[in-house]
Amino acid sequence: MRIRAQMAMVMNLDKCIGCHTCSVTCKQTWTNREGTEYVWFNNVETKPGIGYPKFYEDQERWKGGWKLDRKGRLVLRSGSRLRRLGNLFVNPDLPSIDDYYEPATFDKDILVSAPGGLTDTPVKRPHSRLTGEPMAITWGANWEDSLGGPTAQDDPNLAKMGETVKFEFEKTFLFHLPRICEHCLNPACVSACPSGAMYKRDEDGIVLVDQDRCRGWRMCVSACPYKKVYVNHATGKAEKCTLCFPRIEAGQPTICSETCVGRLRYLGLMWYDEDAVLAAASVEDDAALLDAQRSVFLDPNDPAVQQAARDAGMPEDWITAAAASPVWKLIGEYRIALPLHPEYRTLPMVWYVPPLSPVLDAAGAAGRDDTDADDIFHTISDLRIPVEYLASIFTAGDTGAAAGVLMKLAGMRSYMRARTLDGTVAQEILDRIGMSAEQVEAMYRLLAIAKYAERYVIPVAHQRQAAELDSQLTDCALDCAGGPGMGLTITPVARS
């Protein structure tokens, strides 16, 4: 066993209101400069929908992630190393600007500098940030925001469900899905990079780009099934979410977590067995990948694991932080967080608590008893957001696993409702979800009313690591020419 530390995130989708504050603050911190106008390290999608970039979940088209070959070996979906080398200069699986969107700006000066006496009101027209030419805005990173219909029928996840979901007005549904780089345990982008510029940090598992080694081959963009690696068109270099590692090293949460209005993000350390990663990613049955990845994680409260961490040179405060990690509690102890598309076999480390429709209201509307365990759990299959759709996104189609998580969440709500109203202990519900009263109440506190220090348990980098970390800063930071803080060059807009 080789124990490793991984900084991970969990997002509670029940609390996301789609305000995009996380996207805006991330944009202002990392990508508010020339060459990254179309780049969103963090974006919030509306599901169902085709996402950003368009159809990024369709791996038959983009060849992202991993698959098993005929001999059961794990190989990149983008092909062999020889195939990738042959496509260095003409990558057939690369999204175009139309799959993202053409960034625009506006000639605002015309509103204040137009001469008097005009018969027509001056209008600020959109101009391309890439060419300076007038353009029509037809798409954007959040174009589908709250639409819940016009593009939903093209969602690749719905294509797997056939006629299960019908978009009738009274039955339509949507939820918001914030996305960042998954900082995977088995990152396809790292393996696909011909120049070795993509790498995974030993000390905390954050995946970064060595800007000096990057040659702009863009194979990382194709290989990432989540399409969270971008190309700076001004520098020709690959860029991606850094999990705000300068803040993480100082014990602070990422900027998207810090500014999240819904307080839906959790950050913490996870221990995992590096020797078990390949076997977990190579499991033949897609539906078994969730349990396979969970088996890679090590219980930070196990004395044997703690001793193994000490033997591996982990600082004592990191061991303490891992034991208090809210991420471990949601993923490993309560088992209510799920990975995004485990079938991509990258073993992602940004997990989600799936959204739960108002199950108690649904039970009442259906004429059922919202205090009866059988009636509550039966309602799970009739919720507005279909279990099959959630399973397609979070459990590789395993509806049983997705329904099990929803039942725990519904059971928690029903238990806490009875506990709050009359002080009763709904033991039948506890028995059905296999949790104790203490666990349910602790899970409720973490999901509903957890304080700042409970949601973010981030140990600081140690002084003895400073030299190593400092040597990596020039490799992975974006404070190169044209990087954050280096000044923003504004291209003059041509007027028409």
pLDDT tens over the chain, length 496 residues? 899 999 999 999 999 999 999 999 999 999 999 999 999 999 999 998 999 999 999 999 999 999 999 999 999 998 888 888 887 788 888 999 999 999 999 887 877 887 877 777 778 889 999 888 999 998 998 888 866 556 777 888 887 776 666 666 556 778 999 999 999 999 999 999 999 999 999 999 999 999 999 999 999 999 999 999 999 999 999 999 999 999 999 999 999 999 999 999 999 999 999 999 999 999 999 999 999 999 999 999 999 999 999 999 999 999 999 999 999 999 999 999 999 999 999 999 999 999 987 655 555 555 565 555 556 666 676 677 888 899 999 999 999 999 999 999 989 988 998 888 888 888 988 998 999 999 999 999 999 999 999 999 999 987 555 555 555 544 444 445 555 433 333 343 443 3
- Note the pLDDT of residue 111: 78
Q: Which of 157, 210, 211, 219 has the alpha carbon at shortest distance from 188?
A: 219
Residue type present at position 170: E
CATH of 1-101+139-316+344-353+465-484, one of 3.40.50.11030, 2.60.40.150, 3.30.70.20, 3.10.110.10: 3.30.70.20
CA angle 479, 44, 381 (to 5 degrees): 145
CB atoms within 10 A of CB 144: 23
> What tokens does 282 get?
């190579």
Strand duo 74-76 + 66-68: pairing: antiparallel
> What tokens does 280 get?
């977990």
- Note the pLDDT of residue 158: 81
Kindly give, in sequence order, each residue whose CB lies less than 8 Å from that of residue 392, ignoring residues fewer than 6 positions away. Answer: 157, 158, 160, 161
